[in-house]
Structure 1
């Protein structure tokens, strides 16, 4: 059974918000109110230990389902998707997935981009502190292909939606600061944990001697996204 990742949750949430906006702005459908009521009911059920929690949840889901089925924007979207598939079949195009291109840039290891999947180079590279922000996309930073200087190195990532993965060497002490509205985090050999509007601080690999040493500080902030920091 595949894990229902935060990335997919973010995708469905953004899609739902887009449909609500289109329906309210262009079609004036009153069912938008029922969607908001359903979302509020589900949120109340999840946030509070009420007696009839399951009933609240399914009531909210029912309101959302009925409202979505009556949305003209959803019908138009399905119609447009069907036309697109028919055109692809008519032209006989191959169904190919475009793989994300990973690599460094002249202005830094990773650049600010609104929508992109980015990574540090897969071959050896010269280390530079990373300060990056984006809206949608996955980010991979692998520090095992570089030599960190004998000082505090910094990775600062601010991402709206997407997964962030950091790979660090075994011998390097690491501090991690992670803040998110909704996400799942796994640090080193620990278990995955769900976070709702919270912040986590984790340290690993620090010796008792606090003298001159290599150190990596990782600061990650997301709206909705999974974060994984592992050693390799």
Structure 2
């Protein structure tokens, strides 16, 4: 459906959604947004204590409340209605217009594209639950993930890093991030958090409030094998240490 829409149409839908979101905050005292944040807090507490009965109750009550809170937001209602209308309009057009498929014959002026290979990422995107590298040797692949709740642990001592810059990019909402780096590897760390603490190669920040931190080892700019770490969290701790 969306491939038929122009960029301007999608931009207008996004702009109207943002305006409704701001109206809900400004004129309805936060509306269902406060309720959604409160439900998210219940989900986080319940997940951290999910092995206990009260933790399961907190988690599922928070999840159900979050779903209803999100569906009752003005912006979400508008997006749902817009999606239904666009689906009906595009479905009607598809019935009136038949797609014409033309065979593409190779000619002397056609340049063959370079063959590519799809590689399975080291981590997949996971909204709930913990993620960590295996305790056995594994093949390194750059990490680029986002998540909502849970902890992320990456141990670089069980892999062979390339003679280049290895990249770890993590965007997370609630939870802790732990990264173990071998002593012979140079590191650059760029971390931002709304709430939390940071322990980065012996540098301790006990209280982060909407801050960004940037550290790198002395020989990082001249090293052939190095790791670039970029992380962002809403609430949680980060620990980067040698192993």
Q: TM-score range by the shorter chain?
A: 0.5 to 0.7
TM-aligned CA deviation for residue 109 of structure 1: 1.7
TM-aligned CA deviation for residue 131 of structure 1: 0.4
| Alpha carbons 1:149, 1:214 under 8 Å: kept | yes
| Alpha carbons 2:186, 2:223 under 8 Å: kept | no
Q: What residue is the counterpart of 1:63 in the other structure?
A: none
Runs (4+) of structure 1 exceeding 6 A deviation are: 13-16
Q: What residue is the counterpart of 1:17 in the other structure?
A: 38
Q: What residue is the counterpart of 1:153 in the other structure?
A: 166
Bigger Rg over Cα: 2
* 1:1-232 paired onto structure 2 within 5 Å: 17-18=38-39, 107-206=120-219, 210-211=221-222, 213-232=224-243
TM-aligned CA deviation for residue 153 of structure 1: 0.6
| Alpha carbons 1:124, 1:146 under 8 Å: kept | yes
| Residue ranges of structure 1 left out of the alignment (5+ in a row) | 1-12, 22-79, 85-105
Which structure ranks higher in relative contact order (CA pairs < 8 Å, sequence separation ≥ 6)?
Answer: 1
Return 132-141 or 198-207, whichever deviates more.
198-207
TM-aligned CA deviation for residue 15 of structure 1: 9.7
TM-score, structure 2 as length reference: 0.51
RMSD value over aligned CA atoms?
2.9
TM-aligned CA deviation for residue 212 of structure 1: 5.5
The verdict on how the C-alpha distance between 1:138 and 1:14 changes in structure 2, with shifts beyond 3 A counting, is: farther
Distance 1:172 1:19 in 2: 38
TM-aligned CA deviation for residue 195 of structure 1: 0.8
Q: How many residues align?
A: 137
TM-score, structure 1 as length reference: 0.54
